[in-house]
Amino acid sequence: MSIRAKYEAELDKVFVKLVDMCHETQLSIEKSISALKNRDKALAREVMSEDAHIDAMERDIEQDCLKILLMEHPFAGDFRDVSAALKMITDLERIADQAADISELSLQFGDNNYIKEPEHIEIMSKLVIGMVRDSVASYINRDLETAMGLDKRDDRVDALFEEVKHDLVNLIRENSDNADQAILFMMIAKYLERIGDHAVNIGEWTEYSVTGKHHPG
């Protein structure tokens, strides 16, 4: 097998593992929000324990990428592909950490009734899950249009965060006893907003991989 063919085979392995890591990360977000919505403490703990598995996936892909970089003189485009993948797995790992953090926060509500149903948070979660999925797909498919469109989608997530914040501030003004839960909901919304930011980062690394230009937001 030629060096070139070996390189492409190794990069294909990275692509497959990256898609798997993305899928596991999406599941973590979905489960964390389901645990919050349904008051499912066992599911929340499951998300927290599964975070170690995603950490291991990151290390595995990192090793594969470094192995590729140690091959004989990769072309500039090859180097960008692998460098982008290394950056992306860091973002995916942080997203999984934030899903685990959301689950940890959901346990802090205890058995008390919610001061409000987390509708906006559910909408935010669906938006960011779609963004994470599409950001990784844009890299695999070298789809610049999707990658560069993530920034605009993130604006919607940011707007929803502001709505959540506004609602929660009003609930605290109505009754100061709402403050503890309001802070927990605010932190959960903030983690989702950060997940959207990480998806945008992945889109920016896709742009770098394809064009050689990196324009951080």
Residue 69 contacts residue 79 (beta carbons within 8 Å):
yes
Note the pLDDT of residue 7: 79
Torsion region of 46: left, alpha or beta (phi above 0 gives left; psi -120 to 50 gives alpha): alpha
Note the pLDDT of residue 4: 74
pLDDT tens digits along 6-28: 878 888 999 999 999 999 999 99
pLDDT tens digits along 58-90: 999 999 999 888 876 666 667 889 999 999 999
Domain coordinates in residue numbering, the chain:
3-211
Q: What percent of the chain is helix, strand and coil (3-state, nearest 5)?
A: 85, 0, 15
Residues of the chain with pLDDT under 70: 1, 72-77, 217
pTM of the complete model: 0.93
Note the pLDDT of residue 10: 87
Q: CB within 8 A of 99, min separation 6: which ones?
A: 25, 28, 29, 31, 32, 47, 51, 191, 195
Note the pLDDT of residue 143: 96
Note the pLDDT of residue 214: 74
Write down the CATH number for the domain with range 3-211: 1.20.58.220
